Structure 1
Amino acid sequence: MATALDGLRVIDLTSNLSGPYCAMLLADQGADVIKVESPGGGDDMRRTPPFIGGESAPFMLWNRNKRSIVLDLKSEEGKEALHRLAKGADVLIENYRPGVAERLGIGYEALAAENPRLVYCSISGFGQTGPYRTRGGFDLITQAMSGLAAICGPKDGGPHRLPIAISDVSAGMFGAIGVLSALQARHTTGAGQHVDVSLMESAMQMQVYEAASYFATGEIPARIGQAHRGSSPYQIFATRDGHMALGASSQNMWPKAAKILGCEALVDDPRFAQKADRVAHNDELVALLQERFLTRDTKEWCQAFDAAGIPAGPVMNHEEVFTDPQVLSRDMVVPVEHPAAGPGRTLGTGVKLKSTPGGVRRPAPMLGEHTAEVLAEIGMAPGARAAE
């Protein structure tokens, strides 16, 4: 079956997570993604644990569906190969520090002069302009500088880094959105363009409630633990045998939830009458509800809320997640066979297209696995010195 991005050729000059994740999203939907790696080890993520059969599990997850070639971009032959690739490509993605691609002679202006239809996506820590443009920007740093770490963690503690690479992953997502937007614009203009995405701004985009609140009140958003800035009750509660989440903040759901919890009297309490009241008195409400949650098991509560049409669910660990019937029915755990790591599993694609579905078609490549193949496609001999 055809995929949405059949025929689209993408050159992936990226390493680590943000850029490779962006390229993976395009590869999952059928783009031919050629991952260009450097001699002497390639993408540094190849050395990131845990390992299976000597291969990095993280690298394999977000580099599936790609072909790998090795090019020495400091050599004339390597640059020539890259230029030939870019001439026939639709998209190029890079996540060097701003200025590095230009020094290598493979910046946007140089490649667009040879291929005006090229969509060139740059992902960096702080963007291609501004006083911080040349700074390195790891996920940790941009979580700290975007305001994200300042609002995470317990109310009475210090700032926390989210234990997920949210700046990297969201930058990869915004990069893919930018690429697809530029490709759509190309249908009208006939020309490609430079897409500029940063980890800093991607992390800021995640904070819609905080931005809205600050712009409206001028007050710096405080750490509020797991509470929600605009909804209550809307958080995780301990049960008799574990933990569960309840989202019963809407005005029509709150009385139903209170009845299930045996707290009907709270509905008429002026502290909890309206949504804004409940947000203002969230700590008091949570303390009262928590006593009730401890009287029954998670499964019992979830079944009761589900029957009433109130969003609720258990807090599941990853073993539970990856064996959950909903997750499995949606093909979010996919078998994959790697030439070195052997049979394994990877995440499925989160974007489901009915007529042109994406998916996992091939495992992550071995370093330089497709160098000869790709060089031949651009008219260079398999033994060319480009990869040395």
Structure 2
Amino acid sequence: MNSFMDDFPQDSRTDTEAPAPGPLSGITVVDLSRVLAGPYATMVLADLGARVIKVERPGEGDDSRGIGPFKDGKSAYFTSINRGKQSIALDLKDAGDRQVFEALLQRADVLVENYRPGTIDKLGYGWPALHERYPQLIYAAASGFGHSGPDSRKAAYDMVVQAMGGIMSVTGHPGGPPTRVGTSIGDITAGLFTVIGILSALHDRRDSGSGRFVDVAMLDGQIAILENAIARYAVTGEAPGPLGARHPSITPFAAFRCRDAHIVIAAGNDSLFRALCDVLGLPDLPGNPRFASNNARSENAEALHTVMEAQLETGDAATWLARLDEAGVPAGPLQDVGEALAHPQVRARNMAIRTAFEDGTPLTAAGNPVKISGFDDPATRPKAPALDEHRAAILAELGLASGTEQA
């Protein structure tokens, strides 16, 4: 456990506390998703106050329960993404469990699934069938390639869509091997777009009274976040490649080596560049035709980098960062994950929270970046559920017999 975790309230009861009220309180989400894209979306909804009922496979549960890292046999991967949810294990081919599932849908506002298109339809729970039976239900599907197009039925994982979507072609260093973005950005982007779609559909339902089908593809999400890369290709007709740690169109906007560590400097306009040169003791640099404008600096980025780094290597990172901050030049340290979680700004924004494994053992996790006035942003979040933990309570709520507990 990281030392900064000692700052959390010692009486925090992440094993029993209910989710904090939020703007989505009163919204019920039935979550058929597993692994990451769908569960990430429902985690965000839960953090915003929604009740999320996770429907898992009997005996096995979400695939991510078997993905490490593990602590005492429990998955930290699963725990961090499924905190604050309820779990019920249902076999959707079993008549009794189908009855339970349909009773849940009768009360739900949103259904989320991230199966390959066509999979849920075979069980009779695709969008057309459910919309007819539950016209106000919002059905959100996050899949690799979406529910239309020639590849819609193909399987996909994060790395597949990173490769196909162009992200990997602009990641890494020139001449280096193909490089995956360091987080599962294909899944996470799809999860975030799924949340946006769900919130949009909830807003629409207030006027239309009708549920909507939200269709989000992981590949679409990768295309959507290419931003500058698409603009450059559209203008030049040439596919951009990797540039390491620097920006393709703004200079200087990169990582630089100091005497003891790397820092990042982002001087996004001419006035910031002049202020930067003053800090570095290079006041004549802005007058050099090669560096007088952003376009000129971008065309001569390597030469400028060499000049700047020669100066930066004469001092320590902390000294330069203090001077740059005083001059108003955007800059920051290059931190590892532990340093980022312990940073005072991250702590002040409550972005390193505590949740818990199903047995109550604490776990550090990322907080909710959406801060909304009038709603608390607690430093602790409810624990992740044990498989089928809430079966009895949910069945009682639905007025159904408890039946046999699922293993």
* Worse-superposed segment, 334-343 or 281-290: 334-343
The equivalences for 1:305-320 within 5 A come to 305-320=324-339
Aligned to 2:391: 371
The equivalences for 1:42-57 within 5 A come to 42-57=61-76
Structure 1 residue corresponding to 2:401, chosen from 377, 381, 385: 381
Aligned to 2:138: 119
Aligned to 2:11: none
The total of aligned residue pairs comes to 387
Q: How far 1:147 moved relative to its partner?
A: 0.7
The equivalences for 1:212-251 within 5 A come to 212-251=231-270
For residues 200 and 389 of structure 2, the distance between their equivalents in structure 1, rounded to whole angstroms, comes to 31
Conservation of the 8 A alpha-carbon contact between 2:74 and 2:357: no
* Worse-superposed segment, 26-35 or 356-365: 356-365
Q: Post-superposition, which runs of at least 4 consecutive aligned residues in structure 1 deviate over 6 A?
A: none
The equivalences for 1:339-358 within 5 A come to 339-340=358-359, 342-358=361-377
Residue 193 of structure 1 pairs with residue 212 of structure 2: yes
Conservation of the 8 A alpha-carbon contact between 1:53 and 1:341: no
For residues 249 and 32 of structure 1, the distance between their equivalents in structure 2, rounded to whole angstroms, comes to 43
* Worse-superposed segment, 189-198 or 156-165: 156-165
Deviations 1:79-115 (A, max 9, x none): 2221111111000100000000100111111111121
For residues 35 and 46 of structure 2, the distance between their equivalents in structure 1, rounded to whole angstroms, comes to 17
1:59 partner SS: helix
Deviations 1:49-89 (A, max 9, x none): 11122210011001011001100012122222211111110
For residues 218 and 366 of structure 2, the distance between their equivalents in structure 1, rounded to whole angstroms, comes to 23
For residues 324 and 139 of structure 1, the distance between their equivalents in structure 2, rounded to whole angstroms, comes to 29
Aligned to 1:97: 116
Percentage of matched positions with identical amino acids: 38
For residues 373 and 230 of structure 1, the distance between their equivalents in structure 2, rounded to whole angstroms, comes to 56
Residue 332 of structure 1 pairs with residue 351 of structure 2: yes
Residue 321 of structure 1 pairs with residue 340 of structure 2: yes
Structure 2 residue corresponding to 1:84, chosen from 103, 106, 119: 103
1:356 partner SS: coil
Deviations 1:5-38 (A, max 9, x none): 1100000100010000000000001100000000
CA-atom RMSD in angstroms: 1.5
Residue 144 of structure 1 pairs with residue 144 of structure 2: no
Relative distance call for 1:2 and 1:223 in structure 2 (3 A) is closer
Conservation of the 8 A alpha-carbon contact between 2:76 and 2:357: no
Conservation of the 8 A alpha-carbon contact between 1:151 and 1:159: no
Structure 2 residue corresponding to 1:9, chosen from 25, 28, 41: 28
Residue 35 of structure 1 pairs with residue 54 of structure 2: yes
Aligned to 2:9: none
For residues 206 and 337 of structure 1, the distance between their equivalents in structure 2, rounded to whole angstroms, comes to 32
For residues 226 and 209 of structure 2, the distance between their equivalents in structure 1, rounded to whole angstroms, comes to 35
One-letter amino acid of the structure 2 residue matched with residue 364 of structure 1: A
Q: How far 1:156 moved relative to its partner?
A: 1.7
Q: How far 1:345 moved relative to its partner?
A: 2.2
Relative distance call for 1:339 and 1:146 in structure 2 (3 A) is closer
One-letter amino acid of the structure 2 residue matched with residue 241 of structure 1: D
Structure 1: gaps of 5 or more residues: none
2:270 partner SS: coil
Q: TM-score, normalised by structure 2?
A: 0.92
For residues 281 and 238 of structure 2, the distance between their equivalents in structure 1, rounded to whole angstroms, comes to 37
Structure 2: gaps of 5 or more residues: 1-19
Q: How far 1:339 moved relative to its partner?
A: 4.2
One-letter amino acid of the structure 2 residue matched with residue 376 of structure 1: A
Q: TM-score, normalised by structure 1?
A: 0.96
Aligned to 2:7: none
For residues 130 and 102 of structure 2, the distance between their equivalents in structure 1, rounded to whole angstroms, comes to 7
For residues 158 and 320 of structure 1, the distance between their equivalents in structure 2, rounded to whole angstroms, comes to 28
Q: How far 1:384 moved relative to its partner?
A: 5.4
Q: How far 1:358 moved relative to its partner?
A: 4.9
One-letter amino acid of the structure 2 residue matched with residue 282 of structure 1: A
Residue 174 of structure 1 pairs with residue 193 of structure 2: yes
1:100 partner SS: coil
Conservation of the 8 A alpha-carbon contact between 1:83 and 1:106: no
For residues 317 and 45 of structure 1, the distance between their equivalents in structure 2, rounded to whole angstroms, comes to 25
For residues 315 and 361 of structure 1, the distance between their equivalents in structure 2, rounded to whole angstroms, comes to 29
For residues 247 and 381 of structure 2, the distance between their equivalents in structure 1, rounded to whole angstroms, comes to 40
Residue 270 of structure 1 pairs with residue 295 of structure 2: no
For residues 180 and 220 of structure 2, the distance between their equivalents in structure 1, rounded to whole angstroms, comes to 16
Relative distance call for 1:343 and 1:224 in structure 2 (3 A) is closer
Conservation of the 8 A alpha-carbon contact between 1:29 and 1:358: no
